[in-house]
Structure 1
Amino acid sequence: MLGLRLFDVRGDGALEIAARPVELERHVQAVVEKNMELLIGVRFLASEYSTGLVHGGRIDSLGIDENGSPVVVEYKRGRDAGVITQGLFYLAWLTDHRAEFQHLVRDRLGDAVADQVLWSAPRLICVGEDFTRYDVHAVREIRRSIDLVRYRYFGNELLALEPVASVVADGAARGERRQQRAVSSPAVRTEAGGVSQLRAALEEVLLGFGDDVSCVDRKQYRAYRRLRNFACVSHAHQQEVVVTLRISPKDVELVPGFTRDISQVGHHGTGDVELRLRTEQHLRRAEPLLRMSYDAG
């Protein structure tokens, strides 16, 4: 992000919009909290949440992501490795206070959301002006679900966010897959080999888009995400691979049997466009749409 330059190209010339440091850390926090679902795919629950007299701290922001994972968000100006260790302290507190968190979710978002909290993959999102390569290496070694997000202001009205690193805790997805297998029917467990190979080929494409791609399993789907989900692959189909994408139906050609507008249809996972893949030719045809969704994530 430090090398990013932004230009206004309206008219015949190009005018560079200079980056500027944020004056107050709290300003970034206020902007993110007000637009949290759009910016980082997290539903806002609470600001400056007290961890009580014993722990003596305040979590900058608490939320729950689109897969049901609890989320701690911490903000810092400049380069401050302490934001990661502080965030991990709060993440540990959160996992030790599950009932309190679920009560908060139930109070703010209702019983249905509270009953679907995914405790196998609680997340820490650190939002800072910059991170070092040592920070990136550290979060990969820690092996907890951590996202590092770099921000930069341009002019008075433009905010840029850049995912720097995204790591899913060891065992998070595996734990959900074990749960999914335990409740699956024999038909799901004996999925046809061709579809299984197609799923593997699809995963290779999705993970190949960038080092910032991670995935997490829910009972109904596997989500591939950057900061937000960009593709959700259903577990429920054995004759084809069904994927939902975070793109607008208005931006794609809808082809019967291949792409479908599901913006007004109840479904699991994130996205308004559904893909149905039955062959590797379908997968090759779908790659531009998968890339479009990744870019939007």
Structure 2
Amino acid sequence: MSDINLFEIKNGVKELSQSAVVLEKEIQNLIENNMETFFGIRFLQSEYSITNGRMDSLGIDENNCPVIFEYKRSRDENVINQGLFYLDWLLDHKADFQILVMEKLGIEIAKNIDWSAPCVICIAKEFTKYDEHAVNQMQKNIKLVKYNKFEDNLLLFEHINAPMAKPIKEKIITNKESIKECDIEEKIKKSPKNIQELYFSIKDYILSKGDDISENKLKLYVAFKKVKNIVCLQLYKKEIVLYLKLNPDKEVLIEGLTRDVRNIGHWGTGDFEITIKNIEDYEKAKVYLDKVYDIN
């Protein structure tokens, strides 16, 4: 992985030097105090103790999915396997996490926790090429984030990978003989052919905007995100609805295609709604998809 050179260009050009050392606890405190600003994640608890260890930081993201932060203290520490262990523990102890969310954020958020895409974010001053290769092979929702501090007041986060993990399917027991799998992938498969074709066209267009976009298939919708969500997508039998992180006050609303949903309840994030029923609507939506990528 290449080094990043940062320059100040006001009153001439000056290369900013990297600070010598940022203590692991210092970066942990900084992230916990500004987790929502940095990553769009609401902080829950530091040093969360379990039977066989202690999670560095716990949070919940804008899609109500659990997030574990682990901080790499040395080059040789296997923080990825450690994070996987904690993730498995969390999936086996959902009630404990729900109680924590209820205490910190209230009962409504606790009731709507989405377990289809829990995430581990590994924070380190550096990763080896083997770390990135291991994460890609695992196909788990593990994100590697490298940090650098420049001089006294600049902090840089470099997102090393965009994981394409398969969603964890939630099984609902409907009777003693059958178990029904309920997730967005099943909804895609059961959609009419024209809606499926629209979905894949929209998906491919959004992902083609840049390799910094990842697709998260959640229980009720699909979230396309950079560091934070930029587009959320919901499927219906006759249409696809998108929610974009655009300010409706700055956009021209088109009747039947777009609307302001700031005061209308909906799944996903974003205040600007686009309803796509056919290829003509999709073509009109592209200008908004371009804009939401550029400004977020």
**Separation (CA, whole Å) in 1 of partners of 2:288 and 2:27:** 32
Q: 1:164 aligns with which of 160, 164, 186?
A: 160
Are residues 21 and 286 of structure 1, via their aligned partners in 2, closer, same or farther at CA, if it must alter by over 3 Å? farther
Residue type matched to 1:225 in 2? K
**Separation (CA, whole Å) in 2 of partners of 1:246 and 1:115:** 25
**Separation (CA, whole Å) in 2 of partners of 1:84 and 1:296:** 32
**Separation (CA, whole Å) in 1 of partners of 2:209 and 2:163:** 15
- The CA deviation string for residues 128-157 of structure 1, in whole angstroms up to 9 with x for no partner, is 122232211101212221111121222322
**Separation (CA, whole Å) in 2 of partners of 1:288 and 1:21:** 44
Determine if contact 1:147/1:227 at 8 Å carries over to the other structure: no
- Look up the match of 2:44: 45
Residue type matched to 2:279 in 1? E
- Look up the match of 2:289: 290
Structure 1 residue 114, shift from structure 2 partner: 1.3
SS of residue matched to 1:220: coil
Are residues 261 and 78 of structure 1, via their aligned partners in 2, closer, same or farther at CA, if it must alter by over 3 Å? farther
**Separation (CA, whole Å) in 1 of partners of 2:205 and 2:266:** 23
Structure 1 residue 4, shift from structure 2 partner: 2.6
Structure 1 length as normaliser, TM-score?
A: 0.83
- The CA deviation string for residues 163-215 of structure 1, in whole angstroms up to 9 with x for no partner, is 2113244352697994147998xxx9875543331111001112333445333
Unpaired runs of 5+ residues, structure 1, are none
**Separation (CA, whole Å) in 1 of partners of 2:265 and 2:127:** 40
Are residues 266 and 127 of structure 1, via their aligned partners in 2, closer, same or farther at CA, if it must alter by over 3 Å? same
Are residues 132 and 281 of structure 1, via their aligned partners in 2, closer, same or farther at CA, if it must alter by over 3 Å? farther
Are residues 152 and 242 of structure 1, via their aligned partners in 2, closer, same or farther at CA, if it must alter by over 3 Å? same
Unpaired runs of 5+ residues, structure 2, are 173-179
- Residues 103-182 of structure 1: matches in 2 within 5 Å? 103-172=99-168, 178-180=181-183
Equivalenced residue count is 289
Please report the RMSD computed on the Cα atoms of aligned residues, expressed in angstroms. 3.1
**Separation (CA, whole Å) in 2 of partners of 1:182 and 1:192:** 14
**Separation (CA, whole Å) in 2 of partners of 1:58 and 1:190:** 42
Are residues 285 and 10 of structure 1, via their aligned partners in 2, closer, same or farther at CA, if it must alter by over 3 Å? farther
Shifted more, 225-234 versus 164-173: the winner is 164-173
Residue type matched to 1:14 in 2? V
Determine if contact 1:163/1:226 at 8 Å carries over to the other structure: no
Matched, 1:25 2:49: no
Are residues 38 and 282 of structure 1, via their aligned partners in 2, closer, same or farther at CA, if it must alter by over 3 Å? farther
- The CA deviation string for residues 98-141 of structure 1, in whole angstroms up to 9 with x for no partner, is 22111111111112211222223221111112223221110121
Are residues 82 and 211 of structure 1, via their aligned partners in 2, closer, same or farther at CA, if it must alter by over 3 Å? same
Determine if contact 2:17/2:150 at 8 Å carries over to the other structure: yes
Q: 2:90 aligns with which of 76, 87, 94?
A: 94
Shifted more, 242-251 versus 93-102: the winner is 242-251
- Look up the match of 1:233: 233
Structure 2 length as normaliser, TM-score?
A: 0.83
Identity of aligned residues (%): 39
- Look up the match of 2:241: 242
